[in-house]
Amino acid sequence: MTIDLQKPATIMRGIGSYVPSQVVDNVALSKKVDTSDEWIRSRTGIKQRRIATEKESTSDLAFNAAQNALKNAGLKANDIDLVIVATITPDMAFPSTACLIQHRLGIPKVACFDIEAACSGFLYALDIADGMLSSGRFNCALIVGAEKLSSIMDWEDRTTCVLFGDGAGAAVLAKTGKGPKLIGFKSGADGSNPTLLHQPAGGSLEPASLKSLENRGHFLKMNGREIFKSAVRVMGAAARDLIAENGLTEKDIDHVIPHQANARIVESLSQRLEIPLEKFFCNLDKYGNTSAASIPIAFDEATRASIFKKGQLGLFVAFGAGLTWSAVLVCF
């Protein structure tokens, strides 16, 4: 290991998450769509997911996760001078979800914005916030990944609706204090085939209309087979590049928190990186794919389970619509 752990780095002062109380297991879902518990488990590893009520919005989920992160960081709203929310299911096209939770939390009038990198969004946000904190212009950032994916699910399409759930995760980042250190980033994208995973209608290309509603264009559409192959390839490449650029090998990694999309993808990634599967933390069986909320929810759960030891190295890695990808190295 050649990485300099004494070098100044952004600190994750606190982590928090929130999921809706409503649990929808595979058996319950099979009563709404032509599927079965065995079909879903064998293909995805998912047993259940959390689904928000009609009255719960993405900003509600984000607000609760942010509160938990602030509490765990031992900080208050007025300590924050930057808010970034990663989401593909904002409450509305504008204003940003970041502005909505800034107001609800009572954070001062600081920089707030959303980013959209789909399932890679939280790691993109960490990368962006690290750069902004390193500039010296900001001191303490609130980063949130939040999704109400049930709002864009086609509940008649068993190939997609069984995969996703709702939730939010948040982190408080600072230049000083105690907590895991962010020590390396690798983010990228390939926009050459955007229709592999997309929501066709609702934007400027195809505004809402009677035709778009009849065509069910406002729902998420995915080419599962191609996404699977791309996901393993791009996450493997990003992880390997990041590890090598920091003078490490795969054997130096103690824990991996991958995007929680599919158990088969995680198994394939483990094989590609030659990192034992037991080093991977997965909770997708309980929550399904929560997109930008996936990694922070898993990280919060793993932290509360005390699985990390001081000085160990962790790898976060994700892929998402775009196709986007991102990897982050963390020293616990």
Which residues are part of the catalytic machinery?
119, 259, 289
CA–centroid distance for 192 within its chain: 22
Both tokens of residue 332? 């616990």
Can you state the angle between helices 121-134 and 294-304, rounded to 10 degrees?
80
Neighbours of 286 (CB within 10 A): 19
Integer Cα distance of 235 and 216 in angstroms? 31
Question: Which region, left, alpha or beta, applies to residue 145 given φ > 0 means left and ψ of -120 to 50 means alpha?
Answer: beta
DSSP for residue 298? H
Residue with tokens 């058996």: 27
Half-sphere exposure of 6 (CA within 13 A, CB side): 1
Contact by Cβ (8 Å): 128, 328:
no
Contact by Cβ (8 Å): 326, 190:
no
By 3-state DSSP, what share of the chain in percent is helix, strand and coil, each rounded to 5? 40, 25, 35
